[in-house]
Amino acid sequence: MSTIAIVEYGMGNYHSVERALRHAAPEANIVLTGSPAKIAAADRVVLPGQGAMADCMRTLEVAGLRETVLHVAATKPLLGVCVGEQMLFERSEENNEASIEASHEGDSTPCLAIFNGTVKRFNGPAFDPDQSGADTLKVPHMGWNAVRQTQSHPLWAGIPDLSPFYFVHSYYVDPTDPMLTVGTAAYGLPFTCAVARDNIFAVQFHPEKSADYGLRLYRNFVDWKP
């Protein structure tokens, strides 16, 4: 029986992720845990997250899980969800004061730096006014958006291109390497909403809130053999 650990560190919608995984993979052993030993022993790991980046990084550190997540990212299948995707990058413009913009590194929050790139805040005109109903983008971006699959990947199996997924976020990842991007959505302009490399797949949207296609993505993660 495959064991899937959901990393519990105080900043995530863990129970929604747990319910979705149990539904998608009833034969798997789903463990919701903050234990480094249990996470390290699992066959695959899900890293969820929500809330302010500085709080997420601080609670991950306080829970003693930073090094565990780095180890997992190097050794076994890892699925990042929402802020769990953003945490994989070098820095986030979201700082301790939650200012609207961070103009230099001193105002930004260091992340796990598994991938090169930054996490940026939506800021600019609504190039498609019908998406926001205003001249500037509403933040947070909230609701269903079509996801364009920019590269093939086993986690997209059985999910048609441009399928809708549910988003709630004010920030998005901007990878240095464009080949990391495997999915995009549009809010004002296109933005990266799914990244992948080797044993890691991560998404900005919430599969657990995305009906059948979200459950299919979780199922694909369970079956994935990177």
**Catalytic one of 8, 18, 93, 208:** 208
Spatial distance between the Cα atoms of 198 and 74, rounded to a whole number of angstroms: 9
Q: What is the pLDDT of residue 96?
A: 44
pLDDT of residue 29: 97
Q: Is 135 exposed, middle or buried (0-12, 13-18, 19+ CB in 10 A)?
A: exposed
pLDDT in tens, the chain (226 residues): 899 999 999 887 899 999 999 999 999 999 999 999 999 999 999 999 988 999 999 999 999 999 999 999 999 999 999 999 999 999 999 874 443 343 444 578 999 999 999 999 997 655 444 554 455 678 899 999 999 999 999 999 999 999 999 999 999 999 999 999 999 999 988 999 999 999 999 999 999 999 999 999 999 999 999 9
Active site residue 82: yes
pTM of the model: 0.91
Tell me how crowded residue 162 is: count the other CB atoms within 10 A of its CB.
11
Angle between helices 66-75 and 53-62 in degrees, nearest 10: 90
111: nearest Cα among 163, 174, 165, 155: 174
Identified catalytic residue from 82, 94, 141, 193: 82
Q: Which range marks the domain in which residue 214 is found? A: 3-223
**How do strand 91-92 and strand 109-110 relate by DSSP bridges?**
antiparallel
Residue type, 205: F
pLDDT reported for residue 188 = 84
Q: Say what the pLDDT of residue 147 is.
A: 98
Q: Quick check: helix, strand or coil at residue 73?
A: helix
Number of domains, the chain? 1
- The pLDDT value given to residue 105: 47
Active site residue 208: yes
Please say if 56 is a catalytic residue.
no
Mapped onto helix, strand or coil, the DSSP state of residue 179 is helix
Q: CB of 111 within 8 A of CB of 119?
A: yes
Q: What's 144's domain CATH number?
A: 3.40.50.880
d(CA 147, CA 183): 6
Spacing of C-alpha 100 from chain mean position: 21
Euclidean distance between CA atoms 87 and 111, whole angstroms: 5
Q: Are 24 and 218 in contact (CB under 8 A)?
A: yes
Sign of CA dihedral 101, 105, 111, 116: positive
Catalytic residue among 8, 85, 93, 206: 206
User: Among 96, 31, 33, 35, which Cα is nearest to 64's?
Assistant: 35
